[in-house]
Amino acid sequence: MSDVVGIPGNRIRSFVERIEQIENEIKELNEAKKEVFSEAKGEGFDVKILKEIIKLRKQDQDERDEHDSLLDVYMRAMDEAGPEPVAEAA
């Protein structure tokens, strides 16, 4: 009765153990990434800007151009609308 209803337990165990190993590797890589950001911060670099650069480098040029164009359009639309009148408290 080694196979419960034909389910290959050893194959399942293999998948689970491989996934667990990958999860451990991801955890270690995330820790290493935190250490690099901490090192950069310690040397006076702005971590938020570094993360923005990484995000931009992941985009292709067309995607980046579209983002920049939309950002520009939205900013100009807000500027042209002028300031919102401030409602006074009753």
Cβ-based neighbours of 9, under 8 Å, separated by 6 or more: 2, 3
Cβ-based neighbours of 56, under 8 Å, separated by 6 or more: 64
Cα–chain center distance at 69: 22
Domain count, the chain: 2
pTM above 0.75, yes or no: no
Distances (CA, A) of 10 to 21, 24, 46: 16, 21, 49
Q: Are residues 25 and 50 in the same domain?
A: no
Q: How big is the chain by its Cα radius of gyration, in Å?
A: 25
**Residue 88: inside a domain:** no
Domain enclosing residue 34, as ranges: 7-44
Q: What is the mean pLDDT of each run of 10 residues along the chain (90 residues)?
A: 75 97 98 98 98 94 93 94 73
